Structure 1
Amino acid sequence: MTGVRDRSGAPAVSVVIPLYNKRPHIARAVTSVFAQTVRDVEVIVVDDGSTDGGAEVVRGFDRVRLIRQENRGVSAARNRGIAAARGELVAFLDADDEWMPGHLEALVRLRERYPCAGAYGTAYLVKKEGTSRIPPFGSVIPREPWEGLLPNYFRAATAGALPLSSSGAAVPRHVLCEMGGFATGAWYGEDTDLWGRIALKYPIAFTWSGMAVYHKEASNRACNTKKPVGEPPFVASAQKALQAGEVPPGLQEDVREHVASRQIIAACRNLEAGRPDLARAILRGCRTRDLWKSRYWFLFWSYVPAGAYRVLRPRRVFTALNAWKGRASS
């Protein structure tokens, strides 16, 4: 499949890759784009002030637009790439991840079949320490090989792995412009916030085929950084939408539960970072009908001194939350 160029001469897909100190991995990411069955693509790499020579690696590739800027964060880098994109469909890929060869073909197919959708996503493999697995997506998403419009994005995102990821999603450019792109005020949860804001207004399409590969073992990943985080950005976005009456009554409870799940995960990150006070503050503001056991479990851990927590913590800090997700998807 070569992709179909529109009448304006724009590419079928614009691929935006934010780059910050990912020299060991960026070649793999770009190579996976050029290995796609969809050939009609433009590749935009936005170097966000890297100091490790990653931009020089990018210069070694033909047909890659390299944009350099001072370090302003991953959201600003993605937004810069969006502004430069010429394609109507914009796909995102982190510099330390890669795509299977049919990834863009799957996204383009979704776009053609479901033009009403606000975002398109594929399943993804998580690689870590020599192992790879597909995370549990929960029964809200029909089993493989299903693809289509999700019955309920927020319920799916709460009961299992997120249907949209920063390396597995594509969004029409006009939707990105409508949403104002990625929020630049947070370094963690900025992608989840955008997916949530889109899902408040548009259906979300998903497919099991053409998976992305999420390299959790890669160096310098934000998800592996143990530093404090604030309230997840989607909390404010959801509250604003609820207060403005922009969420249909039948969806409001699902949105609230998704917000609660994001808050609990943020609290877990603060426990890992040795900031139980921040975890406690987030959990005190967490309101949930279904996740109350997880909320109280981690609230308990927030009163344990940070030093003792590191010794006594469960083998997996997300044990309680994962257990709830397993029950919710059964």
Structure 2
Amino acid sequence: MQPEISVIMPLYNKEKTVRRAIDSILAQSFKDFELVIVNDESTDSSREIAAEYSDDRIRIIDRENGGSGAARNTGIENANADLLAFLDADDQWLPFYLENACNEIKRANVGIVGTTYYEFPKGIDVADNLGKSALREGIGRISSRDSTLIAFERLQFFHVGNSLVRTDLARSVRGFDNKKRNGVDTVFFYKLLANAEYSIITPSAVIHHRDASGLSNKVPVQLPTIFLDPSCILNFCPKELRGKMEEVISYVSLMEARRRARRGMKADAEFLYQSFPRMKEFPKLYSKLQREMAFSFYFKYWTAFKRLIGPPVRRFCRERCGGSKFHKLEDVLREAGAGE
């Protein structure tokens, strides 16, 4: 019998966290799903840990190493359900995630449902910021009438882990980029959102774990796909949205160029500066980029210092100075009735 949801999990060397991720899926209040684990040629014990589960809803597919995008595409190709959910092997869901998302996609009749989420170890609940930015609960669609910032914030909200997607929609945009490149999930969701309505729901039901060491906050050496080949998004945009999407990509490239200039990666900043001339449409930020490129060598030391002292200072301000609430992981799990 066909399940209602196919959950796709790419797996590559996540022996320390994969059990937590699988347990969070099996603990869902919604039970009508299959879990498709795509082992991307792991070299640790990840695959063996996944194979310990005897639940007949779990399938493991082995493939040659091709990166997370190719692994997710293998999952999409082998999915039996009309709805797709994605969870990385180092993240987890709270028990009500699938039930809430499935109910909403039926009620709203949209192509994609995004659920607000927590980020740890930062202790952030994205739901706390709804209404303070362009993000709002409810149904929406990316429009050519949106400001650049509004379109950007809405596009950036959706990612693997917090999104339930119609299978036919995912296949219509040809899934993820199959190449081993950074940012393939961003490209996937930009393509989806250019072609479908979405809905954003609360409460937060996804826990996105970032490396507590801070390594995950480092700028990747390789530029993400969106900058190397923007046509992989633009070719899937309706005509009326191409201009807006080009504008958003130019804005994102400007922010990425600034980030790299501040970390001493001047060559990358110059590449983006030359490749995306429309970033000049944001004159204040563009002027800041020019200064940061000029002093890139010195900025990297200042940025390293801020990264060292920034997290504890921000946490202190949030806890003591009336900032957004700091959420503790154990409290979130206990309130949701989930184990660690």
| TM-score (norm: length of structure 2) | 0.77
Instruction: Indicate the percent of aligned positions where both proteins have the same amino acid.
Output: 23
Which residue in the other structure is 2:126 paired with? 134
Once the two structures are TM-superposed, the CA of residue 27 in structure 1 deviates from its matched residue by 0.7
Q: Distance in 2 between matches of 1:53 and 1:90?
A: 26
**Of 197, 201, 204, the match for 1:207:** 201
SS in structure 2 of the partner of residue 108 of structure 1: helix
Once the two structures are TM-superposed, the CA of residue 222 in structure 1 deviates from its matched residue by 6.1
**Residue pairs, 1:51-62, within 5 angstroms:** 51-62=43-54
Taking a change above 3 Å as real, the CA distance of residues 157 and 128 of structure 1, as seen in their structure-2 partners, is farther
Taking a change above 3 Å as real, the CA distance of residues 139 and 253 of structure 1, as seen in their structure-2 partners, is farther
Which residue in the other structure is 1:326 paired with? none
**CA deviation vs aligned residue, 1:147-170 (integer Å, no higher than 9, x gap):** 333575875452478221111112
Aligned-pair RMSD on alpha carbons?
A: 3.0
Q: Distance in 2 between matches of 1:312 and 1:219?
A: 19
Which residue in the other structure is 2:232 paired with? 237
Q: Which runs of 5+ in 2 are unaligned?
A: 311-340
Once the two structures are TM-superposed, the CA of residue 274 in structure 1 deviates from its matched residue by 4.6
Say which structure is richer in helix.
2
Q: Distance in 2 between matches of 1:276 and 1:134?
A: 32
Which residue in the other structure is 2:287 paired with? 296
Which residue in the other structure is 2:319 paired with? none
Taking a change above 3 Å as real, the CA distance of residues 297 and 284 of structure 1, as seen in their structure-2 partners, is farther
**Of 268, 284, 306, the match for 2:274:** 284
Taking a change above 3 Å as real, the CA distance of residues 225 and 68 of structure 1, as seen in their structure-2 partners, is farther
Q: Distance in 1 between matches of 2:113 and 2:190?
A: 13
Give yes or no for contact 2:21–2:89 (8 Å, CA) kept in 1: yes
Give yes or no for contact 2:260–2:269 (8 Å, CA) kept in 1: yes
**CA deviation vs aligned residue, 1:283-313 (integer Å, no higher than 9, x gap):** 333314764323332343233354x332133
**Of 100, 115, 134, the match for 1:122:** 115
Q: Distance in 1 between matches of 2:231 and 2:294?
A: 26
Q: Distance in 2 between matches of 1:219 and 1:70?
A: 30
Q: Say how many residue pairs are matched.
A: 299
Q: Distance in 2 between matches of 1:315 and 1:223?
A: 13
Taking a change above 3 Å as real, the CA distance of residues 68 and 288 of structure 1, as seen in their structure-2 partners, is same
Once the two structures are TM-superposed, the CA of residue 253 in structure 1 deviates from its matched residue by 5.3
Give yes or no for contact 1:32–1:99 (8 Å, CA) kept in 2: yes
Q: Report the residue type matching 2:12 in the other structure.
A: Y
Q: Which runs of 5+ in 1 are unaligned?
A: 1-8, 320-330
Give yes or no for contact 2:125–2:204 (8 Å, CA) kept in 1: no
**Residue pairs, 1:138-153, within 5 angstroms:** 138-142=132-136, 146-150=137-141, 152=143
Q: Distance in 1 between matches of 2:40 and 2:258?
A: 28
**Of 246, 258, 266, the match for 1:256:** 246
Taking a change above 3 Å as real, the CA distance of residues 311 and 205 of structure 1, as seen in their structure-2 partners, is same
Give yes or no for contact 2:234–2:242 (8 Å, CA) kept in 1: no
SS in structure 1 of the partner of residue 239 of structure 2: coil
Give yes or no for contact 2:262–2:296 (8 Å, CA) kept in 1: no
**CA deviation vs aligned residue, 1:102-130 (integer Å, no higher than 9, x gap):** 11112101221122x2222111111126x
Taking a change above 3 Å as real, the CA distance of residues 272 and 42 of structure 1, as seen in their structure-2 partners, is farther
Q: Report the residue type matching 1:187 in the other structure.
A: R
Once the two structures are TM-superposed, the CA of residue 225 in structure 1 deviates from its matched residue by 6.0
State whether structure 2 residue 19 is matched by structure 1 residue 23.
no
State whether structure 2 residue 61 is matched by structure 1 residue 70.
no
Give yes or no for contact 2:70–2:179 (8 Å, CA) kept in 1: no
Taking a change above 3 Å as real, the CA distance of residues 238 and 176 of structure 1, as seen in their structure-2 partners, is closer
| TM-score (norm: length of structure 1) | 0.79
Once the two structures are TM-superposed, the CA of residue 282 in structure 1 deviates from its matched residue by 0.8
**CA deviation vs aligned residue, 1:210-234 (integer Å, no higher than 9, x gap):** 5211101268986646423155267
Which residue in the other structure is 1:99 paired with? 93
Q: Distance in 2 between matches of 1:221 and 1:166?
A: 20
**CA deviation vs aligned residue, 1:133-188 (integer Å, no higher than 9, x gap):** 3274553222xxx3333575875452478221111112111111111110123522
Taking a change above 3 Å as real, the CA distance of residues 231 and 97 of structure 1, as seen in their structure-2 partners, is closer
Give yes or no for contact 2:66–2:179 (8 Å, CA) kept in 1: no
SS in structure 2 of the partner of residue 175 of structure 1: helix
SS in structure 2 of the partner of residue 181 of structure 1: coil
Once the two structures are TM-superposed, the CA of residue 266 in structure 1 deviates from its matched residue by 3.5
Q: Report the residue type matching 1:235 in the other structure.
A: P
